[in-house]
Structure 1
Amino acid sequence: MGCVGAHVELNGFEGTVTINEPVLRYSGNPILTCHDVNKVWGNDCRLYTYTVHNAGVAKVTGANGNNQTIMLFRSHIADGRSVIGKALSDNGVNGWIVDPKPFLLPAIENDIYAEGVNIKSVIESEAGGVEDIRVNPIGSELYVLTYSAYHEKIPDRVKVMMAITKDFKTVIRYGPISEQDMRNVVIFPEPDKNETWRALLRPNDKDREVKGSGHIGGSFGEICVGFAPSPTGPWEIGSVIMRSGHGPSAYQAKIGPGSPPIKTPYGWLNIFHGVRSTMAGNPYTLGVAFHDLEEPTNPSKLRVSAKPLLMPSVSDCLVRETDYVHVPNVVFSCGALTGKDGTVAIYYGGNDTVMNVGLTNIQILNEMCNIFRLNPLTGEHLYSL
């Protein structure tokens, strides 16, 4: 099974992937680092950054009509907060041009807000930093941005905020997707036949179990479905569709959505992340699942691979000897893009420190979910050795 290979290619970066090695890492990784960003932002010491990671991505049309890849990356600045920057590449691999100013900073009164948004509450919720942005394409001209916002004074208090943009220049903030403590929200790019929009959300388990308890931190061991009449809400949190907690598993401790779902012939591709507790720490891996095209929120029609898609390695965080490394043993993706002949480009952070890219093939991912089946609601393996 693992010996059959599939070709992958992205603008001259090409090779073969198999079920045993489903991701081909780019030999030029990392594709963007703090040093690249500091060359542009470095004149303002308040924006001197130590990391570039966990970026959302999208395909856009450049000023000359050419296709470009846009990357909205997260960076830690000196005071510990995260901000979001923007970079563009003509080929999605290298030659990234960083914007001279951050794309998204913690909210202030002068930002643009949708009608009815509680501006004071948004400012308070984002004061501790904004991070891990997802670029959710809605139609051909609109993008819904979902990102985590940290409270400045309450440790670990996090909400997922929503904003919209058409041109990645003007951003309109819509406030929190929910008042619940939450991380990692991705939206399906089209509604169902009843014009209901669907999403995958990662609410705080403890907060869901004990409403009003004020518990923060949580275990984040569940992915729930969300429903809304519009991509900008209001969103209703539905039932659990994926759950961690069963061992041994790469997803034993935590689980969460990664890149926004991508429509394929095999179903909606869901690249998610999972965490396993070990004596040496808590490695983050990437997993793969396919949701049914007609019923993506039905767990009985969800195919999940027990075999991880990508596990962290030394090559995922190649830095200078004096560089800061934020979190060891982590691969984390907030965005993936499809290419020709079934190629999928996965943009992922390494050790919450640098940005990388790797290629996989949609047919290989489909076979992984067929061979290494597991129960999405319990994490139990449904295949035999």
Structure 2
Amino acid sequence: MSCTKAYVEWNGFKGTVTINEPVVRYPGNPILTCHDVNEIWGNDGRLYTYTVHNAGMAEVTGANGKTQTIMLFRSHIADGRSVIGKAVSDNGLNAWKIDPRPFLLPATESDLFAKGVDIASIIESEAGGVEDIRVNPVGSGLYVLTYSAYHGQITDRVKVMIAVTQDFKTVVRYGPISEQDMRNVVIFPEPDKNKKWIALLRPNDKNREVAGSGHIGGSFEEICTGFAAGPTGPWEIANVIMRSGHGPSAFQAKIGPGAPPIRTRYGWLNIFHGVRSTMAGNPYTLGVAFHDREDPTNPSKLRISAKPLLMPSASDCLVRETDYVHVPNVVFTCGALAGQDDTLAIYYGGNDTVMNIGLANIQILNEMCNVFRLDPLTGKHLYSL
């Protein structure tokens, strides 16, 4: 049965979504800003921040049985690097309690590392900042954190790092998921039928370098799969599962994984991001796809909507007149949480500057992937007007 309109509710935030307007924005957006963080961090000038965005999300249940929402947010500090902070809320909407120190800073020798890793290499790889963390639940109360780490000296040299936590207090670093330059890695929350763990990865194309500059070239148009015997790796990069293609598409110039996949009755829900080149810039949008539950890495069983899930608007970056705005026309997610009655809470950064939340309905998202079909490997539309 098709679904073109649905009701959504998240801890008192209620609304209606349709196939034409699949996300309802929270009227209290933004839910977290640099001003909130600077009330806690601002006394240390080294940690004074200008943005709060692109947060990984988790829901955890404490010993008292009470559920809390954890947000691991990215912030630009004064020297241009990014760090990752932690905020906790009882309802996932407001009254966020911010930790007095960042959750994750560029690595130093005093941090915790897994046995056998190259500590000096990790420290070098993270010296330029850490950002865009994903919180990947892998069972038994364990969370694998995947985040981008920038080199301190080589422009745009970036690797995706793996770390592990159980309590969101202690973090153990495992090093890069691959030696290839990469962004945007998410891990499925359970192994496949062959007991292999699966990841979606966005390598920086073929890791081409522009001669003499150290700058990484490439088109960033593909999402690949990765496999490992365990969620911390070692990981093997495998086949391409999504290509953005060309032409009049919201995902024409660039795509990448967004939030970690969520199991639904329609398949594994994949919220990704896409970029389109325009004469006025490169707007980032959110897209939606469903992977087959039993065969999630098979492109022929992947359903993608050509219609974006969320496009940037003026309401996504409400700031003070004198505030810094990092990148205009961007919506970007690193985490989404499933609620009751098919409600999906999407936590997203606006203009790489503030944190927002919007609600979607999983039935509506499934219908979008049925009506606005896109070929996973060519980016061509599979429906007629």
* Kept after mapping to 1: 8 A contact 2:209/2:217: no
Are the structure 2 counterparts of residues 22 and 258 from structure 1 closer, same or farther at C-alpha, using a change threshold of 3 Å? Answer: same
* Kept after mapping to 1: 8 A contact 2:348/2:356: yes
Counterpart residue identity of residue 109, structure 1: E
Equivalent position of 2:240 in the other structure: 240
SS across alignment from 1:363: helix
Are the structure 2 counterparts of residues 209 and 294 from structure 1 closer, same or farther at C-alpha, using a change threshold of 3 Å? Answer: farther
Are the structure 2 counterparts of residues 206 and 193 from structure 1 closer, same or farther at C-alpha, using a change threshold of 3 Å? Answer: closer
Equivalent position of 2:262 in the other structure: 262
In 1: Cα distance, 2:130 partner to 2:163 partner: 12
* Structure 2 residue 303 is the aligned partner of structure 1 residue 303: yes
Counterpart residue identity of residue 43, structure 2: N
Counterpart residue identity of residue 15, structure 2: G
* Kept after mapping to 2: 8 A contact 1:2/1:20: no
Cα deviation, 1:208-248, whole Å, max 9, x if unaligned, reads: 799xx976143211100000001000100001100113210
In 2: Cα distance, 1:301 partner to 1:71 partner: 32
Cα deviation, 1:294-317, whole Å, max 9, x if unaligned, reads: 010000000000000000000000
* Kept after mapping to 2: 8 A contact 1:156/1:217: no
Equivalent position of 2:313 in the other structure: 313
* Kept after mapping to 1: 8 A contact 2:154/2:214: no
Tell me how far 1:65 sits from its aligned partner: 2.6
SS across alignment from 1:121: helix
Counterpart residue identity of residue 189, structure 1: P
- Note the residue ranges of structure 2 that are not aligned, 5 or more in a row: none
Q: Aligned-residue CA RMSD in angstroms?
A: 1.6
In 2: Cα distance, 1:5 partner to 1:55 partner: 28
Counterpart residue identity of residue 229, structure 2: P
In 1: Cα distance, 2:30 partner to 2:140 partner: 30
Tell me how far 1:293 sits from its aligned partner: 0.2
Equivalent position of 1:76 in the other structure: 76
Counterpart residue identity of residue 167, structure 1: D
In 2: Cα distance, 1:122 partner to 1:241 partner: 29
* Kept after mapping to 1: 8 A contact 2:303/2:373: yes
Are the structure 2 counterparts of residues 345 and 264 from structure 1 closer, same or farther at C-alpha, using a change threshold of 3 Å? Answer: same
In 2: Cα distance, 1:5 partner to 1:371 partner: 14
In 2: Cα distance, 1:142 partner to 1:76 partner: 28
Equivalent position of 1:197 in the other structure: 197
Which stretches of structure 1, 4 residues or more, deviate above 2 A after TM superposition?
1-4, 62-65
* Kept after mapping to 2: 8 A contact 1:3/1:20: no
Cα deviation, 1:34-72, whole Å, max 9, x if unaligned, reads: 000000011111000000000000001236431000000
Counterpart residue identity of residue 57, structure 1: M
Q: How many pairs does the alignment contain?
A: 383
Alignment of 1:233-382 (within 5 A): 233-382=233-382
Equivalent position of 1:166 in the other structure: 166
SS across alignment from 1:189: coil
Are the structure 2 counterparts of residues 208 and 243 from structure 1 closer, same or farther at C-alpha, using a change threshold of 3 Å? Answer: farther
Are the structure 2 counterparts of residues 248 and 171 from structure 1 closer, same or farther at C-alpha, using a change threshold of 3 Å? Answer: same
Equivalent position of 2:93 in the other structure: 93
Alignment of 1:128-167 (within 5 A): 128-167=128-167
Counterpart residue identity of residue 90, structure 1: D
Cα deviation, 1:122-141, whole Å, max 9, x if unaligned, reads: 00000000000000000140
Cα deviation, 1:180-220, whole Å, max 9, x if unaligned, reads: 0000000001001221100000001132799xx97614321
Equivalent position of 2:9 in the other structure: 9
In 1: Cα distance, 2:319 partner to 2:162 partner: 33
* Kept after mapping to 2: 8 A contact 1:222/1:256: yes
* Kept after mapping to 2: 8 A contact 1:197/1:227: yes
SS across alignment from 1:73: strand
* Structure 2 residue 113 is the aligned partner of structure 1 residue 113: yes
Counterpart residue identity of residue 370, structure 1: N
Cα deviation, 1:88-129, whole Å, max 9, x if unaligned, reads: 000011111111110000000010000111000000000000
Larger displacement relative to structure 2 (187-196 or 267-276)? 187-196
In 1: Cα distance, 2:128 partner to 2:349 partner: 21
Counterpart residue identity of residue 89, structure 1: S
Counterpart residue identity of residue 84, structure 2: I
In 2: Cα distance, 1:36 partner to 1:79 partner: 19
SS across alignment from 1:376: coil
Counterpart residue identity of residue 12, structure 2: G
SS across alignment from 1:39: helix
SS across alignment from 2:155: coil
- Note the residue ranges of structure 1 that are not aligned, 5 or more in a row: none
Taking structure 1 as the reference length, what is the TM-score of the superposition? 0.97
* Kept after mapping to 2: 8 A contact 1:223/1:241: yes
Taking structure 2 as the reference length, what is the TM-score of the superposition? 0.97
Are the structure 2 counterparts of residues 143 and 22 from structure 1 closer, same or farther at C-alpha, using a change threshold of 3 Å? Answer: same
Counterpart residue identity of residue 236, structure 2: E
Identical aligned residues as a percent: 83
In 1: Cα distance, 2:185 partner to 2:283 partner: 21
In 2: Cα distance, 1:381 partner to 1:332 partner: 23
* Kept after mapping to 1: 8 A contact 2:282/2:329: yes
Alignment of 1:194-233 (within 5 A): 194-207=194-207, 216-233=216-233
In 1: Cα distance, 2:4 partner to 2:302 partner: 25
Equivalent position of 1:53 in the other structure: 53
